[in-house]
Structure 1
Amino acid sequence: MPISKPHSTLGATNTSSCIDLAMYLEKENNELDKLLKKTKSIDEARQIENRKQFFFSHSKNNISTNEVISSIDKNIKKLGKKDAKYFAPTINFSQQELKHIIQSVTDKKEVENVWELNAREYELFNDKIKEYTKLIMNNYAKNFNREDKGLKSGNDLVYFAKIEHFRKFKGTDDEVKNGIYKAGELKPGVNSHVHLIVSRKDKTQRLKLTPTTKERSTTRTIGGNTYHVGFDRMKWINMNEKSFDDFFQYKRRQREMFINQYILKNGSPKEKETLLKRIETKEQTIENTINHAKNRTRNTSKGRSW
């Protein structure tokens, strides 16, 4: 399933400016700039330049890093010095999901990495991920249960997202420990994912939104005013999984479903055993149905007289 994590931050404090995070997310463009300096071909330089990714919001593309920093840092009305000013969710896809997205824009083309996509395919691939990111941020807004206060969709948030296509090995990775790769080397395959910077306050700067809270959904009344607090992270992931399957017309296998993976990881031995039996039964039923349809088609074809 798409793994959506509402991180507090990515290594920097989120109680002050987001400048460090925003500049950190320029790392892939900085790598491409290094390649540009080495090339002497105008065509190759153009191709490298077109590979760069810029920030986007719910309604705008190609947003500069300076605009991101300014927008997030100014959207802090009534937040204290030690209050969180922003959060840094990430969206990560499985290899099966990435393969499916690529196939949807390349007519089932097999690729080893995004460099194998031509300019048009690369653009379509990124556009699909951008549209899906907006669906996730609609779910993000809805999951705070504040529609009565005007928080209805991602358009009511102040957020910026950027797609990255590469990951590097770290010293803690098993592949590095076993000497297969060195720390800092690019991981093989398609590794596209999304980083977001989301303001703690909504666009009106009236609502405080905390996706890392331990409360899932609580109703409080203070001074005669009733309001909701909380954010159900598991519900958000389930919503995002459904949005992915609907948007990309993805037929998710039972073993890929978040709720099943959660039980297989955290459930009791009995729960795991029961679930595995149910999954095996459903998968066998699906396989039998597919095989029956194939045999029926084959037999019908043999009986035709042209």
Structure 2
Amino acid sequence: MYIAITAQKLGQSYSNSAADYVAYLEKENEGLEQENQEHFFNQTEDRITPDKVISEIDANTAKLKKTEPKFYSIVVSPSQRELKKIADNPEALKTYTRELMKDYAKSFYREKPVTVDQIKYFAKIEHERTYRGFEKEVLENAPYRKRIAKLENDIRKVARGELKGTIKKLEQEIAALKEAAPHQINGQMIVAGMKKEGNQSHIHIIVSRKDVTNTFSLSPGSNYKASEVEMHGKKVQRGFHRDQFFEKAEQTFDRVFGYDRNFVETYTAKKTLVKNPAMFRMLLGNLPTNEKALALKLLSKSGMRIPSIPTNKVQLALKVFHRLRRGMQRAIESGSIGI
């Protein structure tokens, strides 16, 4: 499970309107018949129009400064193993989203509990995902792309008479590198931005910074962690329990879909890896044999190069741990986490 919470920005300033983001989320509907399109939905409604999403989010910004986010994006991307459990079932994903937003509401730190009825949000399911720059396939293809870029530059220099050589030979070297790249789709080398194959369903949620009454601010931002401050001589609870939300998100997924989550798929395990690698190794080593074998398989798929080690005596190389730990640290600090 990969979950990211981000404030929507345009360069250095926050977006004044949700229009651009809504347009981006409508891209998969282009060219599709109405019955095949995915529509926006919220806690109680289906088939909400893009215009309604824009108008309601844009109008719900009372007293917010230009330097404050008007709305947040929550992206929920199940792993391939989780998607296999879901199968191709958009309605089940809608059910999960509605349960997830109850967890989101409960994660706000307030004297009076926040309920999902107070949250103004709109969600949409998408079925396509693209490769990101930090993913295993892109990283392992990077040396080939770098060499190809160098050869393409050499071809331009040869054409201008700045470099000796034959264009045909350089083109043959490029073709050989493209063929040798370890990760390809239909003969094309995988690069950042390329569409992934198979089931890639995920959820985009647009959530207003203000509650449905346009009165209270509800920010999940990383600068608003659960805390108490004194205002007008009275202690006031504010902030958002991010850890609680991430943990509840996966627990709710497991409950809704009957999913058997492995140790390394848990948010707790990922945070333990970042904060206490020795503890992570110990917990991993103490897993039952079958769970340990699956854990190693899942870690390997996440991009780790794991040496061949008997699963009853797990001693992963420190270099491997440091690599994954750095990635997890960046994810946690950016307000997202996933394996």
Same fold flag (TM > 0.5): yes
In structure 1, which of residues 82, 85, 89 is the aligned counterpart of residue 74 of structure 2? Answer: 89
Report the equivalent of 1:193: 202
Cα deviation per residue 1:16-67 (whole Å; 9 max; x = unaligned)? 111111111111112xx1xx5xxxxxxxxxxx54331111111111111110
Cα deviation per residue 1:176-221 (whole Å; 9 max; x = unaligned)? 6454235554211211111111110001222111111334311223
Report the equivalent of 1:7: 6
- 1:70 matches 2:55: yes
Report the equivalent of 1:255: 264
Report the equivalent of 1:168: 130
| Unmatched runs of 5 consecutive residues or more in structure 2 | 145-177, 179-183, 295-339
Report the equivalent of 2:118: 156
RMSD: 2.7
In structure 1, which of residues 130, 136, 143 is the aligned counterpart of residue 94 of structure 2? Answer: 130
In structure 2, which of residues 291, 310, 313 is the aligned counterpart of residue 283 of structure 1? Answer: 291
CA distance in 2, matches of 1:269, 1:218: 28
CA distance in 1, matches of 2:34, 2:23: 18
Aligned pair in 2 of structure 1 residues 252, 195: CA closer, same or farther (>3 Å)? Answer: same
SS of aligned partner of 1:166:
coil
- Which residue identity does 1:19 align to in structure 2? A
CA distance in 2, matches of 1:267, 1:81: 36
CA distance in 2, matches of 1:90, 1:210: 16
- Which residue identity does 1:17 align to in structure 2? S
Report the equivalent of 1:228: 237
- Which residue identity does 1:161 align to in structure 2? A
Report the equivalent of 2:246: 237
CA distance in 2, matches of 1:92, 1:213: 20
Report the equivalent of 1:302: none
Report the equivalent of 1:45: none
CA contact (8 A) 2:9 2:15 kept: no
CA contact (8 A) 2:61 2:70 kept: yes
Provide the TM-score with structure 2 as the length reference: 0.66
The percentage of counterpart residues that share the same residue type is: 33
Q: How does 1:52-71 map to 2 (within 5 A)?
A: 52-71=37-56
CA contact (8 A) 2:4 2:76 kept: yes
CA contact (8 A) 2:14 2:67 kept: no
CA distance in 2, matches of 1:185, 1:221: 50
CA distance in 2, matches of 1:10, 1:253: 35
Report the equivalent of 2:278: 270
| Unmatched runs of 5 consecutive residues or more in structure 1 | 37-47, 103-121, 287-306
Of the structure 1 ranges 66-75 and 271-280, higher mean CA displacement relative to structure 2 is found in: 271-280
- Which residue identity does 1:200 align to in structure 2? R
Of the structure 1 ranges 251-260 and 125-134, higher mean CA displacement relative to structure 2 is found in: 251-260
Aligned residues between the structures: 246
